[in-house]
Amino acid sequence: MQAVILAAGASTRFCPLADDVPKCMIPLLGKPILEWTVSSLAKMGIGDIILVTPPAGVNITTPPGCEPKVVVQGKPLGMANALLCAKKFIKEDFLLLHGYHLDVGDFIKPMVEKKRNSEAVLLAEERQNFWEYGVLELENERAKGLVEKPAKSQELTKECVVGIYLLTPDFIPLLEKIPSSHYQLEMALDKWMKMKNIEVVRAQKPPVSLKYPWDLLEIKNYLLEKVPHQISRGAKIGKGVILVGKMIIEEGAT
């Protein structure tokens, strides 16, 4: 299985935190968020990664044996355009996700299991403010349609796509037939749902989101739960200092 990571989008809500870089390049716990995402995929055995970046590129350290193919998206023209930039490298089933989805490893196993009996699998989460997202029309566990940012008055489910998809290469030709627009990907998915058996995995815990700057706090908390407690022997801790809680103190810290 491959993975396509979208890391080229404009981050207009993150000014001035991400004026010159994608928001997934904001560092947390000593690494860019994107680096955490690549590491999460590698730990799940997914090393064939296609990384879609802006012209300026991204600078990350990857795990041993993981050398992502880098594809440049010339202009931030949306998720569909970014995916099409990577199409020549897509040879098998692939995960499509954003650069900030550092928790993707928490959801891969149930998505892969459900993929055995379906054409594709989408990760979904119930959200009370569903009108701000793409909302799924469901029939049991099967996705029958996708409505992007519906009116509050529409009688739909509250199950929203969260931006992690397990797709097949057959999706690419369909995507190419949809007119280019900001919601080209969502329109293609909606059409595919009406043609194929597309299944849904409901997230058992809230997936990481990075829509607004304050979402960085939740990502930080997620990482602190995952990263082991560490105090380097080379760190200098003053007399009388009381350390409370989980922390990482690296070599050279004073």
| CA dihedral of 167, 183, 180, 197, whole degrees rounded to 10 | 30
pLDDT (mean) for 17-42 = 91
> In terms of residues, how long is the chain?
254
What span, in angstroms and rounded, lies between the C-alpha atoms of 200 and 79?
20
Element (H, E) at 166: strand 159-167
Tokens 């105090």 -> residue: 231
The answer, yes or no, to whether residue 93 has pLDDT greater than 90, is yes
- pLDDT for the residue 19: 74
> What's the pLDDT band for 185 if we cut at 50, 70, 90?
very high
Domains of the chain plus CATH, in order, are: 2-229 (3.90.550.10)
Residue 33 has pLDDT above 80, yes or no: yes
Phi/psi of residue 66, nearest 5 degrees: -115, 110
Mean pLDDT, rounded, for 228-254 = 85
Give the residue with greater pLDDT, 26 vs 247: 26
* Cβ contacts of 93 within 8 Å, gap of 6 or more: 1, 2, 115, 166, 167, 168, 169
State the pLDDT at residue 246.
76
pLDDT of residue 188: 97
Arithmetic mean of pLDDT, 155-165: 92
Specify the pTM.
0.90
37-48 pLDDT, tens per residue?
A: 999 999 999 999
For residue 234, what pLDDT is reported? 86
Interstrand relation of 2-6 and 94-98 (parallel, antiparallel or unpaired): parallel
